[in-house]
Structure 1
Amino acid sequence: ARQPELVAKDRRVEFLLHHPVGIVRAALDPAAKLSNPRKSGTLDVVDVTTAQGDTLTLAVDSTTHLPVSVTSMSYNANLGDVAIETAFANYQDVDGLKLPGRLTTKTDKYPTADITVAKNTVNAEAADLAAPAEVKSGPAPSPTAMVTVEEVGKGIWFLAGGSHNSVLVEFADHMELIEAPQNDTRALAVIAKARELKSDKPLTKVLVSHHHFDHSGGIRAAISEGLTLVTHETNKTLFEDLAQRKHSVVQDALAKNPKPLQIETVGNEAVVKDAGRTMQIYHVDGSNHAESMVMVYFPAERLLVQADLYKPANPNAARLPNLIENIQKRKVRVDRHVPLHGPVTSQAQFTKVLETLKVPAATSN
């Protein structure tokens, strides 16, 4: 499928220019512009504007004259304006050229790739890399999000319609949301649907199951809508950082409608309770998927809400034992599973999955 122009540009820069051969060839192009030459310790540094208008920074070892790194600016929906730096090491002689045997990439301070090259080949045959005609002529994608509604308990709605689900919970005088996933488009659509369902009560908080970007990608949109974030205590520093990051390459919801971050943290467990509702929040101990993971249980309805530990359409046998351990530890009795991926399922269906995958069932159920 055709990708947005910004995505296509980033992929072109990543694949063609974040390599010594690509960036040096681009810098030597007569149509390229070199500017701001400078020293940085043992490095010679120069800014390169390619013939296509891409701007990168090239750092070269002053002694060996080999490229050490290349850096370009990009946009990340979660991190905002980011510097993507690829460093080159372990140079090898290959048919008269020196080529790196290791390439490591980081997005700002976060490592994103570490590639060890098994074999470098010069002038090898390459397949046709051109995009198919139907892709090139296809319409540019427009971000949309469909939100479907299923009431799974009195005052509890399952908001689905995409790859990631959310849950709306009604209390006596307000509403709370579980999960603002993926991105602005999805999160804002979910928030709008929640307010449409219960327009007589304010939506005040959103609980974030864990820090992975596909589940926390909508937190800036939630902040822009005035919602308080509720999350495990290990996420606090990260979410504070995400909330204050600059988004100028692309202005997201929070950049357009700035609001201060309001955040509440959960440790081992927490309870949200009023006369008509009890919602229990538990840290998922021992998770090999995310240390920051929490799950939510509704004792009156015997509903368990969790992310990634049990996906009905694609159950992961390696994660199910951890979920079962936490169900047993918390002594919760589950009638239905409300996953943040996939459809709502009964405990009987869950047990059948465990039997198929030969995973021991929880004795508390």
Structure 2
Amino acid sequence: MLRLSLLSLALLPLLALADNPETLTERSNERARGVIDAAVAAMGGAEAVQSVKVLQLTLEGETWPRLQMQTPQAPYQDGYSKEVLLLDLANSRVKLETRLRGNGFENHGTVVLKRGEGTNYDHRARSVTAIPAAQASQQQFVQYQRRLPNLILRQALDRPTSLRYLGEETFNGAPHDVVTFVMPDTQQIALYVDAKTRLISKYDLIYVDPLTGDEAAEVLFSDYTDSGGVKVPQRWEFRQAGEVASRFSAQVAINPAISDATFEVAADGYAKAQPVPTELPQRVEDLGGGVYVIHNGAGQNQNTLAVAFDDFVLAVEAPGSSAGAENVIQRIKETIPGKPIRYIAMTHHHGDHIGGLRGFIAEGATVVTTPGNRGVVESLAQAPQKDRLARAPRTPEFLFVEKGRRVISDGKQTVELLDVGPHPHARELLVAYLPKQRLLFQGDLFAMPNNDAPLGPPQESSLAFAQFLKNKKLRVDKIASVHGRTVSIEEFVQAVQPGTPTAAR
């Protein structure tokens, strides 16, 4: 009996194996691998995909960044973008030159990453800034491999165990197989593979949109052609929450000749700047007279002004997210205890400036803005997000800045909210002016870098701001900012020189 019992126990694992069907995860992974293999074959085959050692991609076209346009609603004024990306996959090197124009700003720069080091070249300011090693890592390199389908497929082939089949979906009127996998930088993406052509039509990933909650950011590929034995798209489009944010023509060169000199940048006469700090500390700047700037409380380089009145607090700007706003609110309560936050003023409707508004609305603060922004605030307040406002919904209350000015005062403390618009950056755009302190708080009109890099030629946005100060004859000693440090009026005048009109003293 004992011998039979031991024999039975020995057979149990074999019986279990014989009766162990594939799990749902295994079946999903197996089907996803089949879709990826078919996509690789359509792209030119595994050998052709893996033979790409160097790739140059030029993207050029129009941009309409979501929640970054002059107005919160269409029609939008388009911007311009061009980037030339050179990837040396064999040696983990990247060179990216970008030109951007729109909404009162123009930028031209080059980033080079190689051997775990990085350098940023600002061609407008003629400066060179080292990129800290933590920001020049392989994690940063991976993001550029989402620019083209063949690079994404290489990543999928290298990470087969993370592949999952999501199902079938109709996209642009055609059936698609959708698979997902996790890239080395931990970003999970979903690939839409055309069921007929087996080419990748798009990929998407999830992000939190201030107005609509969890949403998809999509990159669309179309108009494929052959280049170096690999299929590459000639059209490239980026969408957020279903809205087109950019539309580019794409030119791809496979395995162009390169050398070490290719990754050098001519920078004769450029000023050498200190690296930008990898992490900006949270701090409270006391500007005197009950006026404070909460630095980096809502996120890196995102600041809020807090002004103490006799019986309440006025906050200006709610950047970041709901979580960031909760941190800023706590900082304000610690700095100005025993007084409710009665008002939250927003400078303009851009997403990085209103992402934390829900936290202040939940706190019971009245939103101070221009009439044209009412709709975007109401949409934001109704967004399906998981925060304090979702747990205890409130309808936003408004105090509008009309005819260009709204004064909040208790007889001792005074804040004038002034509409700078129409401005190149936003049609309606507020600044907070404190005449007693001779202080002005603004967002996106001027910013001083967080290192010692030169500013370069003044931007259109800053020149329009300087003209506004002159026209209004505002007496200003200091300018505090949503992004960047507080500067003296002398620093601002120097930045918009030569010959730029500026504030009366």
Same structural fold, with TM-score higher than 0.5 when normalized by the shorter chain: yes
**CA–CA distance in 2 between the matches of 1:18 and 1:350?**
38
Match of 1:88 among 202, 213, 221: 221
**Cα 1:345–1:255, aligned 2, differ >3 Å: closer, same or farther?**
same
Consecutive unaligned residues in structure 2, runs of 5 or more: 1-132, 261-278
| Corresponding residue number in structure 1 for 2:286 | 150
**Cα 1:148–1:34, aligned 2, differ >3 Å: closer, same or farther?**
closer
**CA–CA distance in 1 between the matches of 2:374 and 2:398?**
8
- Offset of 1:121 from its aligned partner? 1.4
Aligned length, in residue pairs: 335
**CA–CA distance in 1 between the matches of 2:320 and 2:172?**
41
**CA–CA distance in 1 between the matches of 2:256 and 2:468?**
55
Match of 2:250 among 117, 136, 151: 117
User: Which digits, 9 at most, give the CA deviation of each residue in 1:122-156, with x for residues without a partner?
Assistant: 6999x9xxxxxxxxxxxxxxx9962323133x232
**CA–CA distance in 2 between the matches of 1:341 and 1:36?**
43
Root mean square deviation, CA, Å: 3.8
User: Which digits, 9 at most, give the CA deviation of each residue in 1:287-327, with x for residues without a partner?
Assistant: 22233321111223332221222324565612332112212
Matched, 1:37 2:168: yes
User: Which digits, 9 at most, give the CA deviation of each residue in 1:8-46, with x for residues without a partner?
Assistant: 7x996x76567443667759x997554543556641123
Contact 2:419 2:431 (8 Å CA) reproduced: yes
| Corresponding residue number in structure 2 for 1:74 | 206
Match of 2:408 among 249, 266, 272: 272
**Cα 1:73–1:352, aligned 2, differ >3 Å: closer, same or farther?**
closer
**CA–CA distance in 2 between the matches of 1:145 and 1:243?**
29
| Corresponding residue number in structure 1 for 2:67 | none
- Offset of 1:104 from its aligned partner? 0.7
Consecutive unaligned residues in structure 1, runs of 5 or more: 128-142
Contact 2:313 2:339 (8 Å CA) reproduced: yes
* Greater relative contact order, per chain length (Cα 8 Å cut-off, separation 6+): 2
For 1:282, the aligned partner's letter is L
| Corresponding residue number in structure 2 for 1:98 | 231
> Which residues in structure 2 correspond to 1:34-73 (within 5 Å)?
34=165, 36-37=167-168, 39=170, 42-50=173-181, 56=190, 58=192, 60=194, 65=197, 67=199, 69-73=201-205
Matched, 1:215 2:333: no
Contact 2:169 2:178 (8 Å CA) reproduced: no
For 1:37, the aligned partner's letter is E
How does the TM-score come out when normalised to structure 1?
0.75
> Which residues in structure 2 correspond to 1:1-365 (within 5 Å)?
19-21=148-150, 32=163, 34=165, 36-37=167-168, 39=170, 42-50=173-181, 56=190, 58=192, 60=194, 65=197, 67=199, 69-76=201-208, 78=210, 80-121=213-254, 146-152=282-288, 154-160=289-295, 163-247=301-385, 251-255=386-390, 258-267=393-402, 268-313=404-449, 317-318=458-459, 319-354=461-496, 357-362=497-502, 364-365=504-505
- Offset of 1:71 from its aligned partner? 4.1
How does the TM-score come out when normalised to structure 2?
0.56
Contact 2:470 2:501 (8 Å CA) reproduced: no
**CA–CA distance in 2 between the matches of 1:145 and 1:244?**
32
**Cα 1:231–1:61, aligned 2, differ >3 Å: closer, same or farther?**
farther
User: Which digits, 9 at most, give the CA deviation of each residue in 1:319-356, with x for residues without a partner?
Assistant: 332112212333322233233334434434433444xx
How many percent of aligned residue pairs carry the same amino acid? 25
**CA–CA distance in 1 between the matches of 2:436 and 2:166?**
67
Structure whose alpha-carbon radius of gyration is higher: 2
**Cα 1:186–1:123, aligned 2, differ >3 Å: closer, same or farther?**
same
User: Which digits, 9 at most, give the CA deviation of each residue in 1:149-189, with x for residues without a partner?
Assistant: 3133x232233366233221122321111122223454323
- Offset of 1:217 from its aligned partner? 2.6
SS at structure 1 position matched to 2:251: coil
For 1:76, the aligned partner's letter is V
**Cα 1:363–1:334, aligned 2, differ >3 Å: closer, same or farther?**
closer
**Cα 1:47–1:119, aligned 2, differ >3 Å: closer, same or farther?**
closer
| Corresponding residue number in structure 2 for 1:131 | none
- Offset of 1:255 from its aligned partner? 4.4
**Cα 1:358–1:175, aligned 2, differ >3 Å: closer, same or farther?**
same
Contact 2:284 2:292 (8 Å CA) reproduced: no
**CA–CA distance in 1 between the matches of 2:202 and 2:469?**
48
Contact 1:47 1:55 (8 Å CA) reproduced: no
Contact 1:144 1:185 (8 Å CA) reproduced: no
For 1:90, the aligned partner's letter is D
Contact 2:469 2:503 (8 Å CA) reproduced: no
- Offset of 1:202 from its aligned partner? 1.1
**Cα 1:34–1:207, aligned 2, differ >3 Å: closer, same or farther?**
same
- Offset of 1:271 from its aligned partner? 1.8
SS at structure 1 position matched to 2:446: coil
Contact 1:45 1:57 (8 Å CA) reproduced: no
